[in-house]
Amino acid sequence: MKKKNWGGYRKGAGRSPLDKNDKKKGAKIYITDFIREDIEKYGSGNSFSEKVVNLIICEIKNRKIKDELED
């Protein structure tokens, strides 16, 4: 049987690894069906996770703006 010459590690091949702080990390939350429906309705993104992150980011921005106005 002849040995194949493809595959395996090659210098410079593949994606550059992400920095440890740039990697996404999982989080487990518990929500009701009503909250899930609102997330599906008001969040933007292709997946449920993207919709949740979008809503969280929007609310954080709103609260930061509110804090800046109060100072």
Distance CA 71, CA 69 (A): 6
Spell 38-71 as b/e; 16+ CB within 10 A means b. Answer: ebeeebeeeeeeebbeebeeeeeeeeeeeeeeee
Q: Quick one: pLDDT at residue 7?
A: 65
Q: Quick one: pLDDT at residue 1?
A: 62
Q: Is 30 left (phi over 0), alpha (psi -120 to 50) or beta?
A: beta
Residue type, 45: G
Residue 25 confidence (pLDDT) above 80: yes
Residue 5 confidence (pLDDT) above 80: no
Residue 39 confidence (pLDDT) above 80: yes
Q: Quick one: pLDDT at residue 70?
A: 87
Token pair for 12: 């410079």
